[in-house]
């Protein structure tokens, strides 16, 4: 009986030790109307971002512009479309936000 209990607990410990995955929380940053440099915003560079508006009845327009002044993305958020995916940012990108609320980027 002791042998079965020992084997059971050992297998449980090994199961949890093997299946633990490390996750990195993507910090959510809030922005109001303004021009922001991607390197100064502390957002993840090179990965897609989710843009959301708060409160839900507000509106926002987000422009992503690279160093050559080429528009990489134009996103409009409103009550019908409260969330959009932005393309991956690079260090030299600028983000221009027009809103009457707050934009959350994560």
CATH number for position 30: 2.60.120
Q: What predicted TM-score, i.e. pTM, was given to this entire model?
A: 0.72
In a domain, 14, yes or no: no
Q: What pLDDT, on the 0 to 100 scale, is given for residue 66? A: 92
Domain count, the chain: 1
Q: What pLDDT, on the 0 to 100 scale, is given for residue 24? A: 54
In this structure, the number of other CB atoms found within 10 A of the CB of residue 101 comes to 17
In a domain, 16, yes or no: no
Residuewise pLDDT in 10s, the chain (106 residues): 667 777 776 777 767 666 655 555 556 789 999 999 988 888 888 888 999 999 989 999 999 999 899 999 999 999 999 999 999 999 999 999 999 999 999 8
Return d(Cα 91, Cα 46) in angstroms, integer: 9
* Helix or strand (DSSP H, E) at 76: strand 71-77
Please say whether the beta carbons of 105 and 49 come within 8 A.
yes
In a domain, 20, yes or no: no
Torsion, Cα 4 5 6 12, to 10 degrees, reads 110
């Amino acid at each position: 009986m002791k042998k079965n209990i020992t084997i059971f607990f050992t297998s449980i410990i090994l199961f949890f030790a093997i299946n633990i995955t490390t996750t990195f929380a993507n910090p959510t940053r809030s922005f109001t109307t303004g021009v922001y440099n991607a390197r100064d915003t502390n957002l993840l560079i090179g990965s897609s971002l989710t843009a959301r508006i708060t409160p839900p009845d507000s509106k926002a327009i987000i422009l992503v512009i690279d160093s050559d002044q080429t528009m990489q993305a134009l996103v409009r958020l409103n009550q019908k479309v409260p969330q959009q995916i932005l393309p991956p940012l690079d260090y030299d990108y600028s983000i221009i936000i027009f809103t009457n609320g707050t934009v959350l980027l994560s």
